[in-house]
Amino acid sequence: MADQPFDDRDGSIWYNGKLVPWRESNLHILSHGLHYASCVFEGERAYGGTIFKLTEHSKRLELSAQTLGMAMPYTVAEIDDACIEVCKDNNIIDGYIRPVAWRGSEMMGVSAQDARINIAISAWDWPSYFSPEARMKGIKLRTSKWRRPDPQTAPVHAKASGLYMICTMSKHDAEAAGFHDALMLDWRGRIAEATGANIFFRFDEANVLHTPTPDCFLDGITRQTVIFLAKKRGIKVIERTIMPEEITKANEVFLTGTAAEVTPVGQIDDVKFTPGEVSQVLMDDYEREVGKAPATAASAA
Ligand code: PMP
């Protein structure tokens, strides 16, 4: 059975300052955000009733909006409160929170300085981004033909909806070929990230991780958390340029993201990896950090 569509659910959505019934939280067809992608958003997770790194997400929303020249009509503290309120009202204990800010219908054309900045926050139950079976074996990535843009071409550090057009095309291509997600290179041909998560590699050295320098893609909140957790364990993390030619030399690969959490990668194109101890330890440490009981006991060793 198909999942219930997202516009046809019970519950409430926080919309420009108040809770409105889920099905009535609509916007007009002639919204600038829809036509010209003047739209930024966040993706957050609640664990046991607490939103992990809530204020970091609200700050990033504000920063993304500022980058697009959109003055947020609410403060970071007000956005924090609204996220909490919408979870409470919808009884979301373990779930996903999606704040979104967009330019409205007051102007319709490329320039839209007087268009209203709207904000809505929704929350829903969402257990695992990749299926539990795929996660345990490691997901399969396929290198996309699309590349992350040059920072002189797009606001690469904003979580802006327009930047996801290439992610959707890449992920659709990957899924059509039997993969779970796409690996995206940057405009120079360096490894960047997946379509909604950052990437880490372990090569020969047991206690050393390598991850691309986030100079043209999101420096994810999960990425930063995992770097912190790795360092706490005495695992060195090297941020550097990583070229696709290095993939064959990797022993372990994993993704990090709010939705993906820490997800081992079992295959990139035709190169296979076995999820190993470092991935497992950091998966467990991350679960502990967010307040979940770890799914495995590997880190107890
Ligand atoms: N890159 C992209 C393109 C993403 O959409 C995300 C998810 N927000 C990430 C990386 C990881 O970011 P975070 O850990 O903050 O969720």
Catalytic residue among 53, 140, 159, 171: 159
pLDDT of residue 298: 44
Return the pLDDT at 297. Answer: 44
Separation of CA 182 and ligand 1 centre (Å): 14
Please give the model's pTM, rounded to 2 decimal places.
0.95
Q: How many CB atoms lie within 10 A of CB 267?
A: 17
Domains and CATH numbers, the chain: 12-125 (3.30.470.10), 132-300 (3.20.10.10)
How much is the pLDDT for 126?
83
- The per-residue pLDDT for 294 is 61
* CA 238–ligand 1 middle distance (angstroms): 19
Minimal-distance CA residue to ligand 1 atom 13: 220
Q: Measured from the CA of 167, which atom of ligand 1 is nearest?
A: 3
- Residue 293's pLDDT is 65
β-pairing, 117-125 vs 139-148, is: unpaired
Ligand 1 centroid from CA 256, angstroms: 8
Is 88 labeled as catalytic in the residue annotation?
no
Residues lining ligand 1, Cβ inside 6 A: 43, 159, 193, 196-198, 217-218, 220-223, 256-258
**What pLDDT score was predicted for residue 299?**
40
pLDDT at 300: 37
143, 185 contact by CB (below 8 A): yes
Which ligand 1 atom minimizes the distance to the CA of 217? 1
For ligand 1, atom 9, the nearest C-alpha belongs to 197
Q: Compute, in angstroms, the gap from residue 276 CA to the centroid of ligand 1.
A: 23
**b/e for 82-105, b at 16 or more Cβ within 10 A?**
bbbbbbeebebeebbbbbbbbbbb
> Which protein residue has the closest C-alpha to ligand 1 atom 4?
196
Residues of the chain with pLDDT under 70: 1-2, 128-130, 132, 293-301
Of residues 19, 43, 30, the one with CA closest to residue 120 = 19
